[in-house]
Structure 1
Amino acid sequence: MLTGEEGFVVLEILLRLMLSIPRSRVWPDSVLSCT
């Protein structure tokens, strides 16, 4: 399992990827609506 700090780093990387890559290509609307 990830520690608290490692978890935040992973979340930050995922957020940066979602902002840099068009969301429509990576995340379908169904996934976005669930989050």
Structure 2
Amino acid sequence: VTALLLTAALIGAVVVALGDDEDKTEEVPATTDD
């Protein structure tokens, strides 16, 4: 169970990191506009 949780956490972290990279690029201009 612990191994599954660790694996899921690692995969989730990678997905979030990759998604954050694209999300931030689009969020930066919006923040500047605000």
TM-score by length of structure 1 reads 0.50
Structure 2 stretches of 5 or more lacking a match? 28-34
Higher RCO, 1 vs 2 (CA within 8 Å, ≥6 residues apart): 1
Structure 1: 5+ residue runs without aligned partners?
A: 26-35
Instruction: Kindly tell me the number of residue pairs found equivalent between the two proteins.
Output: 24
Larger of the two Rg values belongs to structure: 2
Aligned equivalents of 1:4, 1:23: Cα separation in 2: 29
More helix as a share of residues: 2
After superposition, the CA RMSD in angstroms is: 2.3
